[in-house]
Amino acid sequence: MDPASIAPAQALAVEDGDQVLDMCAAPGGKSLILAEALKNSGELIANEVSEARRERLKKVIQQYIPRDVRDRMWVTGRDGGQFARSHPEYFDRILIDAPCSGERHLMQNSSELSEWKKNRSEKLAQRQYALLTAALVAAKPGGRIVYSTCSVSNLEDDLVIDRLSKKKEGQFQVLDTLSPIPEAEKTKNGFQIWPDRCHQGPIYYAVLQKNQ
**What CATH code is carried by the domain that includes residue 92?**
3.40.50.150
The string of pLDDT tens digits covering residues 107-154 is 555 555 555 566 788 899 999 999 999 999 999 999 999 999 999 899
Q: Where are the alpha helices (DSSP H) in 24-117?
A: 29-36, 51-64, 67-70, 83-86, 103-108, 110-113
Predicted pLDDT of residue 55: 97
Instruction: Write down the pTM of the prediction.
Output: 0.92
Predicted pLDDT of residue 121: 86
The parent domain of residue 131 ranges over 3-210
| 164: confidence class by pLDDT, cuts 50, 70, 90 | very high
Choice between 143 and 7, residue whose per-residue pLDDT is larger:
143
| 183: confidence class by pLDDT, cuts 50, 70, 90 | confident
The string of pLDDT tens digits covering residues 80-100 is 999 999 999 999 999 999 999
Helix axes 29-36, 51-64, angle to 10 degrees: 40
The string of pLDDT tens digits covering residues 22-59 is 999 999 999 999 999 998 999 999 999 999 999 999 99
> How much is the mean pLDDT over the chain?
90
Looking at the structure of the chain, the number of domains it has is: 1
Q: Is the pLDDT of residue 4 over 80?
A: no
Predicted pLDDT of residue 134: 98
Helices (H) and strands (E) in the chain, counts: 10, 9
The DSSP element (H or E) to which 161 belongs, if any, is helix 158-167
Q: Which residues are catalytic?
A: 150
Predicted pLDDT of residue 104: 55
Reduced to 3 states (helix: H, G, I; strand: E, B; else coil), residue 124 is helix
